[in-house]
Amino acid sequence: MDKLLVGVDIGGTTVKLSIIDIHGVMKTKWEIPTNTSEGGTFIVSDIAHSVEDKLIALQIEKDSVQGIGIGAPGFIDVGKGIIFEAVNIGWKNFHLKDEMEKAINIPTFVDNDANLAAVGEMWQGAGHGAKNLLCVTLGTGVGGGIIAGGEIIHGESGMAGEIGHITSVTENGAPCNCGKKGCLETVASATGIARLATELLSEYSSSTLQEIYNQNGTLTSKDVFDAAQEKDALAVNVVNQSAKYLGFALGNLANALNPETIVIGGGVSKAGDSLINSIKEYFNKYAIPKIAKETVIRTATLGNDAGVYGAAWLAKHK
C-alpha cells in the first residue's frame, strides 16, 4: 500500500479530516464538531481518537501513515507548530504540533488554514502544476495564501498573505475587525458585499433587494449576486464595486509577485463567471500589461476540501 497522509482542517464549528495517499488521491473524508469548550482543550484528543477510529474501521495499519498535516486559523509559528492565538477556538500560545504528536505518535506539521487552502489548489485544484500562485478566499472575511517557487511564503512573523487587510482600496472606509478602516475585507467579503448593498438601498427604491430586505430584515451576498444575475441596478452596482476593489488589489499584488495563476475561492466565488469576468476587467486595468496578459485567473475547484488537500501536501512535503 502507498504511504498515506492525514489532512486536517480545523474550523470554528467543524474539523474536516481526510486520508489521502502521497499521489493526492483521497481515500476518505469526514468531519467532527470543533469542541471549543474550556479553551479548546479537547480538540487535539478528539482529532487523535477520530483518526485512530477511522484507521481501525478501514483496516489501515497506523504505521502506513507517513504524517499528519493540520491547517489551523490564527497566527502560527510554523516551525514549532505553535498557535499564538486563534480567537474562535480559544487557543493562545498553544503547542499544537507537540500535543498532537503526543496524542497519536505520528509526525505532525502545522500551518495557517488559508495557506494550506492555497497549497491544496496548487496540488490538486485550479492551480494544478503552478509553482507561483496567489489564492484568495472570499468568505465571511478575505483570506489569502502566496506560493512562490512551489513554497508557501510565510514572511518574517508568519503573517504573509493577509490580502484581506490591504487598506488602500477605500480610504476612510468601513471599520474592519482588524482595527483599521477600509480594508479589502470590508468591501469584497460576503459580509462586506451585503453591507454595501444595505447602505445603498435608499438610493434604489425599485430594487428587488429592497423587497428582500423588507421581508427578512437583512441582505446576504447571495441575495446580491442573484439580483445581479437579473440585472437589478443596485446589485449590479455593488458587484461592480467589489470587483473593482478586488481587481485593484490583485493587479497590484500581481505586479509585485508575478504569479502564474490566481485562484479565487470561498463562498463568494460561487457567484460564477460574472464576478470573475468583472474582476479580470479591473485586474487588466491595474496590472502591468505583460503580467495581465500572462496571468490566469480561475475559480477554485476543491471547495471545502482545499484545506485537507493542502494539509496532506504539507505532511508529504515535510
160 and 108 in a single domain? The answer is no
Which of helix, strand or coil describes residue 293? Answer: helix
pLDDT digits (tens, 9 = 90+) for 66-112: 999 999 988 899 999 999 988 788 899 999 999 999 999 999 999 99
Number of CB atoms found within 10 A of residue 288's CB: 14
Q: Print burial letters for 242-262: b (CB count within 10 Å at least 16), e (below 16).
A: bbbbbbbbbbbbbeebbbbbb
pLDDT of residue 92: 93
**If you count them, how many residues does the chain have?**
318
Q: Is the pLDDT of residue 169 over 70?
A: no
137 and 48 within one domain:
no
Q: How many domains does the chain have?
A: 2
Residues 186 and 279 in one domain: yes
pLDDT at residue 123, as a whole number: 96
pLDDT at 168: 64
CATH number reported for the structural domain that contains residue 204 in this entry: 3.30.420.40
Residue 14: which of 295, 308, 288, 310 has the closest Cα?
308
Same domain, 208 and 293: yes
In our burial notation (b when 16+ CB lie closer than 10 A, e otherwise), range 167-178 reads bebbeebbebee
Report the chain's C-alpha Rg in angstroms: 20
- For residues 141 and 251, membership in a common domain is answered with yes
> With 90 as the cut, is the pLDDT of residue 256 above it?
yes
Percentage of the chain modeled with pLDDT above 90: 77
Are 270 and 136 contained in the same domain?
Answer: yes
Dist. CA 274–CA 292, nearest whole Å: 19
Q: Do 254 and 147 have their domain in common?
A: yes
pLDDT band at 170 (very low <50, low <70, confident <90, very high): low
Name the residue range of residue 73's domain: 4-120+305-317
Which residues touch 171 (CB under 8 Å, ≥6 apart)?
182
pLDDT of residue 274: 79
Distance CA 94, CA 26 (A): 29
For 2-51, the pLDDT digits (tens) are 799 999 999 888 999 999 999 999 999 999 999 999 999 999 999 999 99
Same structural domain, 81 and 162: no
More confident residue, 318 or 67: 67
The answer to whether residues 177 and 284 belong to one domain is yes
Given a cut of 80, whether residue 173 has pLDDT beyond it is yes
d(CA 31, CA 8): 9
pLDDT band at 171 (very low <50, low <70, confident <90, very high): low
Q: Are 81 and 93 in contact (CB under 8 A)?
A: no
CB of 170 closer than 8 Å to CB of 187: yes
Q: Record the pTM.
A: 0.87
Can you read off the three cell numbers belonging to residue 145? 495564501
State whether 58 and 161 are in the same domain.
Answer: no
pLDDT digits (tens, 9 = 90+) for 293-316: 999 999 999 998 999 999 999 999
